[in-house]
Amino acid sequence: MPLPWEKNIKPLMLAPMQGVTHASMRKVQMELGSPDVLFSEFVPVSNVSRRRISRRDLDEARRHNLSAPLVVQLVGNNPEALMEAALQLQDNGIQHLNLNLGCPYGRMTSGPTGGSMLQDMHLVEKCVEGLRKVAHGGFSVKVRSGYEDPAQIMNLLALFESCGVDFVVLHPRTVVQKYTGYADHGITRRIAAEATVPVIANGDITTPQQGHALLQDSHIAGVMLGRGAIADPWLFRRLRQSAETGTDALQRRSRLRIYLSRLLEECSQTYAGEHQVLAKLKNVVQFVDDPALRRWCGKIKRTRSLQRFNAMLDSLENPAGAWVD
């Protein structure tokens, strides 16, 4: 089955993040960082509706026209519903599908979804088997190392391999950890060394040093960036460079202005109303973890108008750092 990346490369992927990796964000990430593979936001699959996925999600996936392949990630817990959703997406030109088995937060009221499904291995098996049966293109899973026991990944890996999954994205935290503690990439390395399918490392990769350390492991097939890329889309480009290239405070401020300005342009064309556009932009600012920008980020999170937001962006070009009050 086809993989969504070229042979002989270790792909750099943009992670699926609800409310963040929408089409506008994906376009800006491609312009500034150029990831090799893009993931959609989570696409919920209805167990009761005649339309398994929403028209909005279907239309957004269908309109994808960027150079990097799009992987559509499904969230659901009913094998038949997931299969019907997969067929519907494929009928609309989607070539790559992914099942979310890692999100630590519930997404539906009809039972466990995402990482919570790891409490029921039989359900996981039925869903993975069903999707593999109908997926004509690439099919992958994104998974935590376990629900509460990180050793569970060994049984999960055996299940994925027996079902014919094309690749596995592993976030080496347990579901109960949510985002506390740290992502233990010692687990990633052990699993990648034993797996017969490509394993993509995900979780706490926010610097070039962290990414390079994983990419240098011959068994790890690639890396996926989430919060690190949302804070700084140029992280993809720096990961492709063999030498470390640092940036000073002025460069980081200038890049953030370029990034948020482009995102503002794209979101303004897609979303209706000032409040909705501001919400999308503030979702991004919360991931910026630069001590030199902490005060500025705190202020811009409290902005209530796009006029004020633009003034705050312009203040980033002030070399003296006298930002708008």
Mind listing the pLDDT tens digit for each residue in 178-192?
999 999 999 999 999
pLDDT confidence of residue 248: 84
Q: Output DSSP code: residue 189.
A: H
Q: What is the pLDDT of residues 235-272, one digit of tens each?
A: 999 999 865 666 788 889 999 999 999 999 999 999 98
Does residue 98 sit in the same domain as residue 188? yes
Q: How far apart are the first and last CA of the chain?
A: 55
The answer to whether residue 107 scores a pLDDT higher than 60 is: no
Tell me, yes or no, whether 28 and 53 share the same domain. yes
What confidence tier does 116 reach under pLDDT thresholds 50, 70, 90? very high
pLDDT of the residue at 20:
95
Looking at the structure, do residues 216 and 255 belong to the same domain, yes or no?
Answer: no
- Note whether 208 and 68 are same-domain residues: yes
- Kindly state whether residue 6 falls inside one of the protein's structural domains: no
pLDDT given for residue 135 in this prediction: 96
DSSP secondary-structure letter at 36?
S
Average pLDDT score over residue span 18-43: 96
5 located within any domain: no
Query: Among 183, 204, 239, which residue terminates a domain?
Result: 239
Backbone angles phi, psi at 168, to 5 degrees: -125, 130
Examine the pLDDT at 109 and tell me if it is beyond 80: no
The answer to whether residues 149 and 229 belong to one domain is yes
Do 280 and 160 belong to one domain?
A: no
| Distance (Å, whole) CA 214 – CA 220 | 7
Q: Rounded to an integer, what distance in angstroms lies between the CA atom of residue 290 and that of residue 230?
A: 13
- Tally the domains of the chain: 2
Please identify, among 217, 239, 261, the residue that sits at the C-terminal boundary of a domain.
Answer: 239
Nearest alpha-carbon partner for 1 in 198, 158, 159, 193: 198
pLDDT score at 148:
97
Indicate if 37 and 151 belong to the same structural domain: yes
Question: How far apart, in whole angstroms, are the C-alpha atoms of residue 156 and residue 179?
Answer: 21
Per-residue pLDDT at 106 exceeds 80: no
- pLDDT for the residue 49: 76
- The mean per-residue pLDDT over the stretch 106-135 comes to 90
What band does 320 get if pLDDT is binned at 50, 70 and 90? low
Q: What is the pLDDT of residue 304?
A: 94
Which domain CATH number covers 89?
3.20.20.70
Tell whether 168 and 202 lie within a shared domain.
yes
Q: What are phi and psi of 254, to 5 degrees?
A: -65, -40
Beta bridge partners, 100, equal 142
Helix (H) or strand (E) segment spanning residue 242: none
Interatomic CA distance for residues 120 and 78, integer angstroms: 13
pLDDT of residue 110: 67
Q: What secondary structure does DSSP assign to 84-97, as a single string?
A: HHHHHHHHTT--EE
Segment 99-114 shows an average pLDDT of 81
Q: Are 76 and 85 in contact (CB under 8 A)?
A: yes
Last residue of a domain, one of 208, 239, 270: 239
Helices 185-194 and 152-163: angle between axes, nearest 10 degrees: 40
Give the pLDDT score at 319: 59
Classify the C-alpha dihedral 33-37-42-46 as positive or negative: positive
pLDDT for 150 equals 97
Within-domain flag for 324: no
Under 8 Å between Cβ of 185 and 172: yes
Determine what percent of the chain is predicted with pLDDT higher than 70: 94
pLDDT value at residue 244:
60
Residue 7 lies in a domain: no
Task: Look at residue 4 and tell me if it is in a domain.
Answer: no
Which tokens belong to 76?
A: 């659901």
pTM score, whole prediction: 0.95
- Does the structure show a pLDDT above 60 at 321? no
Average pLDDT, the chain: 93
- Evaluate whether residue 101 is within a structural domain: yes
Query: Could you list the residue range(s) of the whole structural domain that residue 142 is in?
Result: 12-239
Report d(CA 220, CA 186) in Å as an integer.
Answer: 11
Reference 52, options 43, 61, 60, 39; nearest CA is 43
Separation of alpha carbons 266 and 311, rounded Å? 18
Specify whether 208 is located in the same domain as 275. no
pLDDT at 108: 53
Structural domain includes residue 42: yes
Residues 65 and 195 in one domain: yes
User: Do 72 and 207 share a domain, yes or no?
Assistant: yes
Q: Indicate whether 55 pLDDT > 60.
A: yes
Tell me the average pLDDT across 35-61. 92
104 domain-assigned: yes
Same domain as 105, residue 35: yes
Share of the chain above pLDDT 90, in %: 86
